[in-house]
Structure 1
């Protein structure tokens, strides 16, 4: 890998200023590098201290059948094409059992896992997912061998105590959802809070901290998630009213998030676009009409379905992973849900409670450096648009996890997450640079440094370098990789790896003088400007 990445290669294309053309220009003399003014960057928003958070699937806690590794799938697509009715008790309705493989319960006491999760704190851990909709909490010394009728899985006392202990150890209060399948309903089909009450009372009695909850996970395709067949928005509204009254009366400290929709966008690539087989979409608008009093508007974002779910359509490719179309899908999803929020839940902040490279466990490249661009660009975009919390799916499980699900070794996006946590504060600034190919620049107050500014500069162009002019000294943190679709990542040319006893390396920056800085193709750089002297950041 080249040394001195900021200066080695000649400038091919300049990074244009706000007044210049939106797209990069080649050979245009008047196109000068943009001159950033970090001292004058205006505040445009703020995010939660726990903005960067993550999911641990309920199925990971209980053990069960989750997405099968690609190497073990004989044929793609092997999906059923959307025929309703579960294939097995722990397979979502309409999905082929061939796409899933049993995994034992995750060891949430693992020292490496806890050390790496704690380094991302403070955060939230969302323990939910599709399988949470039909999970039965067994508040008995000896849990049942099989789930009761109407449920697909069993959560034991010891498993949930392990989740509580993990949450407390890594400074990540729990965000969750309620069981909503047939087992949680009366003979009239109406949701009953009995199971939720037992589970939440147990959590409180044993020191658990549940910060927020959705009624159930992804009601967009409700029957896929375990709701009764032909469940509609009116039934959702009836049940959400019961859920909301229960939470406000019996556990008033829990924030209510709603509606938790997924797969809708301003374009037809949305993974729920058109429904799935004979499952019809319950639109966010129809659901949010019943959730006006929730504390925040929650939604999920996936820019595509992974190869596992090829029968669903809505695919993408590794070749598109750095494109403006792909990265811009984050904005298109939020724009869709913003129109719904503004009509039915005006003024409520957004929580993105689940997002990753692609639905159905992620594509084969989701765990490589290639997806780190999406991961960080998404954090940068959403912080500027009233999104208080972003929960990556997942911390561990499947291709899109931040950690390897066998060894808990960090994947490239984990190292990026660690740098975000170290440098990017909660006050969001206007960097003054329009987004275009090769020029994604995001600015926050520098964490822990009064007056300081942190910049995230993403060059998503695989062929050309970019430059910006910075008026003060900085510490530079550049992430790059020998292979875009590789598992190794370097910080300032040094490969990152855990040390003895799983020690995290010191993520130090390279002192960099003021002036024009070059950013290599397909690279990600943080700049810490401790002497920016921005009055908003004091």
Structure 2
């Protein structure tokens, strides 16, 4: 490194950097400490101000509406295990939607009851799914997913009738897990003049109001694909008018007049999708509380392991997000923008990749980059539903991305700071970092959490920012349960050397960090994801949360 470059980096960081090295910790995770062949990355950060503050429910989850294609599968939401796992990810939104929401028709089977006559719902402790029934449903759901995937491939979708039971089970799951439910309504119910037929939605809202269910709403899923799915074309301007009609319906309700409404859930911007978004914003921006769009990096049917580790593919989110943010800002300044549905690969995910350890690089990078760019909520497809990008497996056990999400929730606060990683070759591409104030439920005000990932097969050394050099650092390093490239396909993950798994259906393991001894560098093993918490940073930006740059 030249003297001029060194002086420039020192000026950016405000002084010399003292760094730390985890070395061998008591649990002996086997982190590389030799530095042999490793890349040195220097991190600079501005700790005086925050560049964005995301919604406290920033990391949120979805339940794919495919779960409701046979109403009996909704009982899986009564599983103690899935409720335990979901509650641990709060605060969060819980979106019920997806491709099949636009084929679902509410078909009541019992008279709507007045609020005064509604029987009390069973307590959360009383709603327990018998083990024999859970085992049977899980087995049958595995078969059902194959049927659904075949329908997706053929683009042949059938109308699905659902009753009050689906709504009751969703509400029970949402309220008992502590999430905020968003229900996706069918936008393909159209009148002769191609406007939205709101009568079925009105019936559903009336039932939910009679039960006092706390629900927010969406209307339609990926309107850009309506022609392919159903041979129906709805332009953006008409869609905005449909949302305005829904908002009017909600305003007429004593219970839902203040509820959230989100949309249009359009696919990532290109071609006619931009026209749909712009037309929608012109006629419907005032009706919504946040503008939602969907993002996937690659096609799940023809992607590869290399794609999941490709920095250029990860960087592609920037261009897409900036395009949506720019158009929303122009049409409706101040309107929040959300990733209303997102994961690694579209088409249901990539088998053997989207549910494996390697998917964590796309997921953590998306969380870090989305917050930095100014998106307020990111809804992960999918907690449970058809496809290969689940957070839980067919036995409802957590997959690697679940554990990554859980650590994010516990360690990362909503305040985003500016940070950059530089190697001898310039901006680091394979060592990627993001910086937030720490979650104040876990750490004192002023603490910082550094999110980092190493996409390379070689270890890396990170020099930490100057102002956090002298205090305590806690490390949470995630690696596959097998070394090298083989481990990238793993469906298990180690935290600081120990494989993570539930203790029982009601109990998650302790997610403890390792306190690092003073040393020269933070070590980031090959193919690893890590959170480093600087507990004594006393960062000015994290003390004064009123100051936004």
Range of TM-score over shorter length: 0.7 to 0.9
| Correspondence for 1:299 among 283, 293, 301 | 293
Q: 1:37 to 1:257 in 2, by over 3 A?
A: closer
Structure 2 residue aligned with 1:74: none
**Contact 2:431–2:460 (8 Å) recurs in 1:** no
Structure 1 residue aligned with 2:269: 264
**Contact 2:355–2:400 (8 Å) recurs in 1:** yes
Structure 1 residue aligned with 2:169: 162
1:325 positional shift = 1.4
Cα separation, 2, equivalents of 1:37 and 1:179: 46
* 2:398 partner SS: coil
Q: 1:401 to 1:252 in 2, by over 3 A?
A: same
Moved more, 196-205 or 281-290: 281-290
Map 1:84-163 → 2, pairs under 5 A: 104-105=73-74, 107-141=76-110, 152-163=159-170
Whether 1:408 aligns to 2:396 is yes
Cα separation, 1, equivalents of 2:316 and 2:45: 29
1:503 positional shift = 2.1
| Correspondence for 2:450 among 447, 452, 455 | 455
1:130 positional shift = 1.4
Cα separation, 1, equivalents of 2:493 and 2:376: 28
Whether 1:229 aligns to 2:236 is no
* 2:515 partner SS: strand
Q: TM-score, normalised by structure 2?
A: 0.77
Q: Deviations over 1:82-116 (max 9, x none)?
A: xxxxxxxxxxxxxxxxxxxxx94451100000000
Cα separation, 1, equivalents of 2:348 and 2:184: 20
Cα separation, 2, equivalents of 1:456 and 1:158: 41
Structure 2 residue aligned with 1:98: none
Question: Is the helix fraction higher in 1 or 2?
Answer: 2
* 1:331 partner SS: helix
Structure 2 residue aligned with 1:378: 366
1:11 positional shift = 5.2
1:303 positional shift = 1.4
Q: Deviations over 1:150-178 (max 9, x none)?
A: 98101111121000000001111111322
* 2:346 partner SS: coil
**Contact 2:431–2:455 (8 Å) recurs in 1:** yes
Of the two structures, which has the highest relative contact order with CA contacts closer than 8 Å and spacing of 6 or more? 2
Q: Deviations over 1:176-198 (max 9, x none)?
A: 322122xx333443213221122
* 1:108 partner SS: helix
1:281 positional shift = 8.2
1:502 positional shift = 4.9
Q: Deviations over 1:11-35 (max 9, x none)?
A: 52211xxxxxxxxxxxxxxxxx44x
| Correspondence for 1:355 among 339, 342, 346 | 342
* 1:283 partner SS: helix
Structure 2 residue aligned with 1:3: 29
Q: 1:458 to 1:222 in 2, by over 3 A?
A: same
Q: TM-score, normalised by structure 1?
A: 0.78
Structure 2 residue aligned with 1:241: 244
Moved more, 341-350 or 233-242: 233-242
* 2:39 partner SS: coil
**Contact 2:104–2:162 (8 Å) recurs in 1:** yes
Q: Which consecutive aligned stretches of 4+ in structure 1 deviate over 6 angstroms post-superposition? A: none
Q: Deviations over 1:347-401 (max 9, x none)?
A: 2111111001111110011000000111111001111122111100000222101
Q: Deviations over 1:473-520 (max 9, x none)?
A: 211000011101111110011111111345211000000134421211
Structure 1 residues not aligned, in runs of 5+: 16-32, 65-102, 144-149, 266-272, 308-314
Q: 1:142 to 1:462 in 2, by over 3 A?
A: farther
Q: 1:142 to 1:520 in 2, by over 3 A?
A: same
* 1:455 partner SS: strand
Cα separation, 1, equivalents of 2:450 and 2:208: 40
**What is the total number of aligned residue pairs between the two structures?**
451
For the aligned residue pairs, the C-alpha RMSD in angstroms reads 2.5
1:438 positional shift = 2.4
Cα separation, 1, equivalents of 2:245 and 2:108: 23
* 1:290 partner SS: helix
* 1:454 partner SS: strand
Q: Deviations over 1:256-297 (max 9, x none)?
A: 2232210325xxxxxxx6x7xxxx985322332222212222
Whether 1:186 aligns to 2:205 is no
1:207 positional shift = 3.6
Structure 2 residues not aligned, in runs of 5+: 1-26, 113-156, 544-549
* 2:202 partner SS: helix
